[in-house]
Amino acid sequence: MILNPEHMMLDKMTPAIFKKARIELRRSLKALDETRKVLPYNFELSLVLTEIQLVTELMVLISKLGQFLCMHIKNGGSGDQRSAFSTAHAGVVNLPMTVRTDLANSLLTIRSKFQHTWLSRNIASTLPNALKMFDNLFRALLPPSMQDLGKQLL
């Protein structure tokens, strides 16, 4: 869903599946936070826990995206988009702008945290390749009229 946001196969998925996944992921985030409070501070351990947190937050975002796509497909899109929908192939371009904006803002927050974490453990020259997965989804979430602004934000 991150790498190819415009051609997702969701024919066997339901909004409930994604919602259940999100609930479990949030439980995991809460348990991770509780664990972090109990453990003594260690720089390496802190970085590992931060990486786990970022991956989990990204999975929460992707499950939210999947839920919105399934709900939008089930409702048949809106207006004249109705004929463009296929239950097997879904893309973020078909989602309402408010949903896309919300997802893009959440993605930018996760991307920023990821960037800081990456730079604390890896060579800076490898960062652009690591960020490509975020940038691909971010561009897909933006409408064509905002692509230039998206380039400035990234």
Give the tens place of pLDDT for each residue, 75-128: 765 544 443 444 455 688 889 999 999 999 999 999 999 999 999 989 999 999
d(CA 124, CA 115): 10
The predicted pLDDT at position 145 comes to: 76
> For 42-92, where are the E strands, in sequence order?
89-90
pTM of the model: 0.84
CA R_g for the chain: 17
Q: Tell me if 110 is assigned to some domain.
A: yes
Q: Tell me if 3 is assigned to some domain.
A: no
Q: Tell me if 74 is assigned to some domain.
A: yes
Q: Tell me if 1 is assigned to some domain.
A: no
Q: Tell me if 91 is assigned to some domain.
A: yes
**Residues 33-59 pLDDT 10s:** 999 999 999 999 999 999 999 999 999
The predicted pLDDT at position 84 comes to: 40
Map residue 86 onto helix, strand or coil. coil
Structure-token pair, residue 51: 């990486």
Instruction: Point out the least confidently predicted range of 43-47, 68-72, 88-92, 147-151.
Output: 88-92
User: Is the pLDDT confidence value at 21 over 80?
Assistant: yes
Any bridge partners for residue 9, and if so which?
Answer: 89
The predicted pLDDT at position 94 comes to: 82
Q: Tell me if 127 is assigned to some domain.
A: yes
Q: How many independent structural domains does the chain possess? A: 1
Residue found by looking up tokens 């702008």 in the block = 97
d(CA 89, CA 109): 28
Instruction: Point out the least confidently predicted range of 19-28, 34-43, 132-141.
Output: 132-141
The predicted pLDDT at position 80 comes to: 43
Q: Tell me if 36 is assigned to some domain.
A: yes
DSSP string, 36-91: HHHSPP-HHHHHHHHHHHHHHHHHHHHHHHHHHHHHHHHTT-SGGGGGG--SSEE-
Q: Tell me if 71 is assigned to some domain.
A: yes
Q: Are 139 and 150 in contact (CB under 8 A)?
A: yes
Residue 115 structural domain: 8-153
